[in-house]
Chains A and B, each alone.
Chain A
Amino acid sequence: MAGTDYAANTDYSADSYFVPRAAPLVPSRLSRALLAVVRIGVGLLWLQNVGWKTPPDFGRGDPPGGLYLSASYAVSHQVFYPYAWLMDRFVLPNFTLFGWMVLVVEAALGAFLLIGLATRFWAVVGIAGTVAIALSVLNAPNEWYWSYVLMLLVHLALFATAAGRYAGLDGVLRPRWQESPSWLVGWLVRAS
């Protein structure tokens, strides 16, 4: 019985009468609470992670540090040639612009996942961010590739479960958005 807290342990609907299946995940209050914990936890990780991306130089200097050093690993400890080429030719020479882009995107990622607003959209942004970070530092010293696989998987889970609908703003705003004819609000419905 989707949408209630009183879901049966098995689903005996017409198409599955003879093959009992587990009830959907979402109706359980515990599952909703745990999804909220995962979303808020991931939001806080991004929020903390943006703390060391400090303007105005973002670590560009002698010796390099911070975000600049991490980004330069894409070239010095190459993971994927086209990405290394892109970083070498376009990103590193224009690093101030890139640094600001990273800061704004990661700050927004942490902010939106924390409050659970447009969560599915920001989960996709998190996947893109994870891939970019992995392509930069995967071969750098002392990196553990599982970190990036786990990051990728947790964002897939946030997307798949639309985690902002549980103890997030998507949960309280989405029903109102669904009544609106506006295309912008329609986009928010899809993003939540």
Chain B
Amino acid sequence: MSSNRRLARRLDPYRPLDRAAVALGAVSILSAAFIFVHGTFQIVQIGAISLVVALVLGLLAMAAGWLAEATLIVAAGVGFLLAAGVQILLLAGGSAGFLGGNPSTFSLWLGLGIGLIAIGLVPRPELAAQDTFGPD
């Protein structure tokens, strides 16, 4: 990345939003470690499929934040909300189901989903602003 691009990125007023998306993606990836944790310190229950969900959607959120792609940030958020919805429906049926999570997993994915959608839906009018200063 050239120094000019790096400077432009640092001055971007939407950079804190993108960094928040990267952080939420990182939280998801970190949560995958709970596949190895059981008992008192198990904050969320992660099974084999929920591990894949946590890693894939976490990486998507991080990449979306890194690339400053609001649409991808929303897509990652919708993915988390869908996963949370499926998990709670499976739990309503009486078991963790194929995802292998528990109500804590639902809670985590709910938070990540809502957070990413809230970030991704912030209007980003920078293209319109650039047009204003463009050649006539």
Contacts and interface: CB of A to CB of B under 8 A. Distances in A.
Contacts of A191: none
B103 to A, nearest CB: 5
Contacts of B122: 173, 176
A172 interface: yes
Contacts of A117: 114-115, 118
Interface of A: 43-44, 46-48, 50-56, 103, 106-108, 110-112, 114-115, 117, 169, 171-173, 176
Given A115-B114, A115-B115, A117-B115, A110 B107 contact: yes
Interface in B5-23: 16-17, 20
Contacts of A51: 42-45, 102-104
- Chain B contact residues: over half helix, strand or loop, or mixed? helix
A47 B104 contact: yes
Contact of B43 (A44, A53, A54, A106): A44
A48 to B, nearest CB: 5
Interface in B41-83: 42-45
B103 A56 contact: no
A38 B106 CA distance: 22
Contacts of A169: 20, 115, 118-119
